[in-house]
Amino acid sequence: MAESSTILNQLARVLESESGFSKENACVALKNLTLVKENAIFISSRGGIASLLEICGSGTPSAVAVAAGVLRNLAGVQELRQSCLEENAVPVLIRVLKSGTVIAQENSMGCLCNLAAGTDDDYSIKIAIFKEGVLDCMMDYMEGDRNSQPAIGLLRNLASLKYISDIIQSSELFIRVILELDSSSPGTRTEAARAITELNSKSRKEIVNAIPKLVRMMEAKGSEEKEAAAEALASILKSSSGMKREFRKEERGIVNAVMLLDPLVGDVEKKYVIEVLLSVSQSRKSRRQMVALGACVFLKRLAGMEVEGAKKLLECLEKGKFLGVFPRN
């Protein structure tokens, strides 16, 4: 790291050289080095984005794959996203996505995902990606034997624009996201759940198929997956009374949600779990089940911690007790 500036300078110069073999090896080194934000910014300042895009346009298949990987790192730095757009990166990445190797396609998709990950004010990048016909590319990509996580991440990022979100919801991509909830990859399942939160549409009856999958995800080992599942369920159950009935039919639905209320289950945003339980709290049977599972004990602690919605749900359950909903022992 003490010699990083010298090394980066030399690697940036190699990227501008005429030797394809040397360029590819420089990209291999930069793929690791540019994981550090400062290094990524330095390479960009030396014209690295343009050089890497040139490799993506005319390099060997293996060179294209690794150059796209470096660009993926650079696009992960918010300060560099606009520079990528100005260097006309999007159409180059789309071409790689259409015709590159499997690794090149994954890195290209990951790069586009990072480019679209900006705030809601960064509409220009999202629109530029959409106009290049990326939705069709995403469908083709997800139908192949590839890592779907970056594609779903891109879909979720693009969906922050309502116009694009409406198009996605009316396409087969929406069904594909639901299917990815059964992926063997925890990261892909988590990303799919987050996408459903962003895309949840009352007009697509297929959304009901996501409920049992999300209920199972609440039993996952990883806290991110549990939280993503709870948030997606909260979004779905707000949409209609029919969705609430489907959730109540799930044997483990309320059980899993109450278990996540436990303050000892850390790193899971409790407000989403509370929203799920509140959505079905109008049902006497559901309230009875929550109390029997010890929800009140957890909610008292969460209310003391001023967790959003905890006091409201606790009052709802205790009111049910006082009204004689639950028989005395």
Q: Which domains does the chain have, with CATH numbers?
A: 1-91 (1.25.10.10), 207-329 (1.25.10.10)
Residue identified by tokens 């779903």 is 152
Task: Compute how many other C-beta atoms are within 10 angstroms of the C-beta atom of residue 38.
Answer: 13
Cβ neighbors of 149 (< 8 A, separation 6 or more) are 185, 187, 188, 191
pLDDT at 7 over 50: yes
pLDDT per residue over 109-167, tens digit each? 999 999 999 765 568 899 999 999 999 999 999 987 788 999 999 999 999 888 999 99
Structure tokens, 329 = 């022992």
Cβ neighbors of 225 (< 8 A, separation 6 or more) are 186, 189, 190, 193, 217
Q: Where are the beta strands (DSSP E) in 191-325?
A: none
Cβ neighbors of 32 (< 8 A, separation 6 or more) are none
- Residue 323 CA to residue 326 CA, distance in Å, equals 8
Across the range 62-73, mean pLDDT stands at 96
pLDDT per residue over 191-244, tens digit each? 999 999 988 766 678 899 999 999 999 999 999 999 999 999 999 998 788 899
Answer for the pair 250, 208: CB distance below 8 angstroms, yes or no: no
